[in-house]
Chains A and B, each alone.
Chain A
Amino acid sequence: MTEQRKDILDMLAAGKITAEEAEQLIAALERDQAPAAAGLDARPKGKVKYLRVVVDATDNGEPSRVNVRVPLQLLRAGVRLAALVPPQALVKANASLSDSGVPIDLTQLKPEQLEALVEHLDDMTVEVDSPDATVRVFCE
């Protein structure tokens, strides 16, 4: 995922822009990047079905591995289910998140924004390397 696309999705997640604005920005970004990106992304677009999380780590000298494969359809269904969470529960969750040092206002997250995030997950690859652990999050 490019830095610009990530910025757009961050703004969408933060509620600074609407889903339509994000879509327009991403479309404009794709128009600009299409000629340059041709041939770089070998993954067939629109065919990804799963979100994969792979963690390789060493814990007390023993190798450990977590390999999770979640259907993207499950994420979409989860977003629809999360949209049904009552506002009073969201307020409590906000307070708990804030206490934990994660100041996110869940009431500002709209289902369509989350849907847009899930839609664009196929472009995402996150790799974190540290001396004793490697984390990869990608779609396939």
Chain B
Amino acid sequence: MPQLVTVKVNRPARRPIRVWVPVLPVALLLFPIVVLVVLAAIVACLVFRIGAVRALGAGWRVISALPGARFDIEQGRTAVLVAIR
């Protein structure tokens, strides 16, 4: 499971923005919203006749596989980096 998401934004003539997001504390903080999202996903699975357990398992696999992903985009002197550890 991802532990830390790092976001860096470099903009010309402005101070760079660097944000480190610890995933677990933020997920705990947003727990009520996470529960609502999971419930909505289960309802959607029932509506579209998809196995809810399979769907949640596949979704969890995607989240678990995120560590190591890195997206680095530069345009001139503007740069955005998103790294998931």
Binding site for B on A (CB under 8 A): 49-50, 59, 62-71, 73-74, 76-78, 80-81, 83-84, 86, 89
Binding site for A on B (CB under 8 A): 48-51, 54-55, 58-59, 61-62, 64-76
Contact A86 B49 (CB under 8 A): yes
Question: Once the chains are docked, how many angstroms separate the CA of A59 from the CA of B77?
Answer: 12
Question: Once the chains are docked, how many angstroms separate the CA of A80 from the CA of B61?
Answer: 9
Q: Chain B interface mostly helix, strand, loop or mixed?
A: mixed
Number of A-B contacts (CB under 8 A): 64
Task: List residues of chain B with CB within 8 A of the CB of A80.
Answer: 58, 61
Task: List residues of chain A with CB within 8 A of the CB of B48.
Answer: 86, 89
Question: Once the chains are docked, how many angstroms separate the CA of A81 from the CA of B66?
Answer: 14
Contact B62 A64 (CB under 8 A): no
Residue in A64, A65, A69 whose beta carbon sits within 8 Å of that of B70 in the complex: A69
Question: Once the chains are docked, how many angstroms separate the CA of A49 from the CA of B69?
Answer: 11
Task: List residues of chain A with CB within 8 A of the CB of B51.
Answer: 84
Question: Once the chains are docked, how many angstroms separate the CA of A68 from the CA of B84?
Answer: 12
Contact B76 A77 (CB under 8 A): no
Question: Once the chains are docked, how many angstroms separate the CA of A65 from the CA of B51?
Answer: 41
